[in-house]
Each structure stands twice: as structure tokens, then as C-alpha cells.
Copies of this chain bind each other. A is one copy, B any other.
């Protein structure tokens, strides 16, 4: 007798599939599946259809690689965006985070990850060539590198910087500093050191408000 004796193979299969999702253990998976079983059939069908529909019809923007319902995404095709600025991010989630700040009106470029030898992700696995192509067209003034503040993020920053530094553009990165709401006492020393080094004039420090 196995430690989890499922009364049904069909149930077990569904639980196993849910348990493959990140952060969902077998116990949570069982809870989710039993929840679905208790819902009216049309509701579960809508759940399945939403995933299937997304899988079959979702597109990636041919310019910035963001998720899109159309060939060119709504940001790249918007007439009100600043088309001379590109913000380079790791993932679609980062685009959404930056959009939610409402502080950015330029375009994006989604790399699809960062260079990580540990995870076997090299530069050729990322959307770097298409970024260089966009810059090579000569209509870009500034490239903002907005990658994670990690070793992998820094490696990727340097790799891309070397590829694009000879174009007539400004390359910037996100400010590193003390996060909003963080107490100095609990801020790590690298962050604190950088925040000191990159200190800004007091009258500029409210420019994002």
C-alpha cells in the first residue's frame, strides 16, 4: 500500500499534474482538485478552456517579445509611447511591474531570463540579438537595463553592455538604493554602500512623486 492511496486513478493523475506547478505540493494539489470536483461543470470547463485558449492563441510581440494578443503588442504599437527608449527586462512579469509604477512611457525588451551558467542559460537562449537589431536601426536614444540586482543580472548587464556600447545611445541602469519603507538598520551593507555612492541632491530625490 503506497503512502497516498488515491481512490481513483483519474483523481491521482489530476493531482500529479497540479503538483507539478511551482509552490504546489501534493497536499495543496489534492485540495485544489477536490475543489474543482465540487464546482459546477461549466465552471471547470471555463477553467480548462481559459488555459487551452491562452496556450493556443497567445502570441509574443515580434518587436519586444512581451506577451500579446496581436503580432505587435499594445505597448509597441501605442502612438503615445516614447519609441526612442527601451527598458530591458527579464520577464513579462517585470513589464507588468514597471507598467504599474506608471513612471515609464518608453518601450520594453523582454530577454526571457538572465545569463545563468548554473541553470545552463547562455546568451543565445535570450532575446539579445533582436535587442541589438532594434538599436542598430538608429532610432533609439536610451537603453535602460532593468534586470535583477543579482550576480546573474549583473553578468547579463555587462554582456549586453559590451554588445551595444558602440552605438550612439545612453545606457542606464535602475538606481540601486534603500528600498521604500526599509529601515537603515536592516539594510544590507552592499545596498547601503551603493546608496551612499549614488546619493542624489535632496531637491531631486522627490522627482518620482
List chain A positions with a Cβ less than 8 A from chain B: 1, 3-11, 13-14, 16-18, 20-24, 28, 30-37, 41, 43-48, 50-55, 57-58, 66-69, 73-75, 91-93, 95-96, 99-100, 102
User: Smallest distance from the beta carbon of A160 to chain B beta carbons, Å?
Assistant: 21
With contacts A8-B69, A9-B69, A10-B53 taken as known, whether A93 is within 8 angstroms of B21 at the C-beta atoms is: no
User: How many identical chains are in the complex?
Assistant: 2
19 CB contacts below 8 A, A to B, read A7-B66, A7-B92, A7-B95, A7-B96, A8-B68, A8-B69, A10-B54, A10-B57, A13-B54, A16-B50, A17-B50, A17-B51, A18-B47, A21-B32, A22-B31, A23-B31, A24-B32, A33-B51, A44-B51
Closest to A10 in B: B54
- Of B7, B23, B46, B93, which one neighbours A75 at CB under 8 angstroms? B7
Asked, given contacts A21-B35, A22-B31, A37-B58, whether A6 binds B96 with beta carbons under 8 Å apart, the answer is yes
Quick check: B7 and A68 within 8 Å, CB to CB?
A: yes
Q: What is the bound-complex CA distance between A78 and B155, given in angstroms?
A: 61
Q: Which residues of chain B are near A17, meaning CB under 8 Å?
A: 46-47, 50-51
Collect the chain B residues with CB atoms within 8 Å of residue A102's CB.
Answer: 1
Q: How far is the CA of A102 from the CA of B1 in the complex (A)?
A: 9
What chain B residues lie within 8 Å of A57 (beta carbons)?
A: 10
